[in-house]
Chain A
Amino acid sequence: MKPKKYLNPYLGGVLLGLVLLSANFISGRGLGASGAIKSCIVTATTIISPSSAQTSGFIKEYTEKHTGNPMKNWLVFEMLGVLVGGFLSGAIAGRLKFKVEHSPKITSRKRLIMALIGGVLFGWGSQLGRGCTSGSALSGMAVLSLGGFITMMAIFGTAFALAYFFRKNWI
């Protein structure tokens, strides 16, 4: 089956905005992604090495703000939903397929190495920046947070500035 076309981007944007608006109306907070990974890391550290978890400033800072089980967290449930929602959309559109997506100019192996490095950088940056494209930039902009706009410009500005050096990976 030939995959269906993507949604009109402006309609997609309005729908994304409505999802974000409902998050704010229902839960008083925006969307996010990297925070769910933080919850997993905090949980894993507490299980694997309780002693280092007790001395870690990173985990202490987290548990001071969040009480209870770090996996019983808004973002963890939301991100599980993202996996389900993405899968449903892909199933309806006929896009479910195991695939390494890359420019014909590079190998799958190179694409995967770059994806890993990119993920490490994005993961690290999202912790320093207190949220990623969803939590800090998109959700921050919707509530007019100054930091949200600054982070958004830093993310897109840097990627744009570096685009020339990585053009073979994409074009």
Chain B
Amino acid sequence: MGPLAVNEIISENTNLFLAFIIGIGFGFVLEQSGFSSSRKLAGVFYGYDMVVLKVFFTGAITAMLGLLFFSLFGWVDLGLVYINPTYLSSAILGGVVMGAGFIMGGYCPGTSFCGASIGKVDGMVFIVGLFIGVAIFGGGYPIWEKLYWAQDLGSPKISKSLGLSDGVFALLLILVALAMFWVADWAEKKFPREEY
């Protein structure tokens, strides 16, 4: 059955329309969770507000479990779902630069659009920065092209790389997340907090 677009159960235009609807859901949930506030987002790095950690990991685990169950029930063919490829050097270095951008800018791309949508000027300026950053990458592409394609590992699953089944890995991730949520609650009690 699923994925509907890949199996051509819905047309390309319907798929794009549904992308818009999915985006509305995405933006709505982000804003309702407080991801439109840069000071709330940055809280995760100082312990005064751990909402990012809680929402992010609960979200990833919910979707991961959903996909595993959907696959088990035969509702979705996981072979047709896009799995992000792994180029080791660029995955690490790209992440490091994004992390620096996160602590300086207070947003990530998705949350900056969310912040801008309710009038956060810092979010709008962050978006301007994003455009400049992407343009710099495109303009200087020959400089980092080699790095971009280095250490191609294909599209491995983390469960397979660790020698575990998907289910056992999912269980471990849930346990790790529960431990982190416990630490997060401890941190929020320890560090002072105000509502933004």
Evaluate contact between A123 and B131: CB separation under 8 angstroms: yes
Evaluate contact between B67 and A24: CB separation under 8 angstroms: yes
Evaluate contact between B86 and A146: CB separation under 8 angstroms: yes
Evaluate contact between A129 and B95: CB separation under 8 angstroms: yes
Q: Which chain A residues border B60 with CB–CB below 8 Å?
A: 17, 20, 138, 141-142
B179 on interface, CB distance cutoff 8 Å: no
Secondary structure of the B contact surface, majority rule: helix
A47 on interface, CB distance cutoff 8 Å: no
Evaluate contact between A150 and B155: CB separation under 8 angstroms: no
A1 on interface, CB distance cutoff 8 Å: no
Q: Which chain B residues border A58 with CB–CB below 8 Å?
A: 137-139, 141
User: With A and B bound together, what is the CA distance between A39 and B106 in angstroms?
Assistant: 24
Interface size bracket, A side: 35 or more
Evaluate contact between A20 and B63: CB separation under 8 angstroms: yes
Evaluate contact between B159 and A9: CB separation under 8 angstroms: no
User: With A and B bound together, what is the CA distance between A24 and B69 in angstroms?
Assistant: 13
User: With A and B bound together, what is the CA distance between A98 and B106 in angstroms?
Assistant: 17
Evaluate contact between A84 and B23: CB separation under 8 angstroms: yes
Evaluate contact between B63 and A21: CB separation under 8 angstroms: yes
Evaluate contact between B102 and A118: CB separation under 8 angstroms: yes
15 contacts between A and B (CB under 8 A): A12-B33, A15-B29, A24-B67, A27-B4, A78-B23, A86-B27, A90-B31, A118-B126, A122-B133, A126-B98, A129-B98, A137-B95, A146-B158, A147-B153, A158-B99
Binding site for A on B (CB under 8 A): 2-6, 10, 15-34, 36-40, 42-46, 48, 50-51, 54-64, 66-67, 70, 75-76, 78, 80-88, 90-123, 125-139, 141-142, 144-145, 147-148, 153, 155-159, 161, 166, 169, 196
Binding site for B on A (CB under 8 A): 6-7, 9-10, 12-34, 37-38, 40-42, 45, 56-59, 72, 74-75, 77-90, 93, 95-103, 111-112, 114-163, 166-167, 169-171
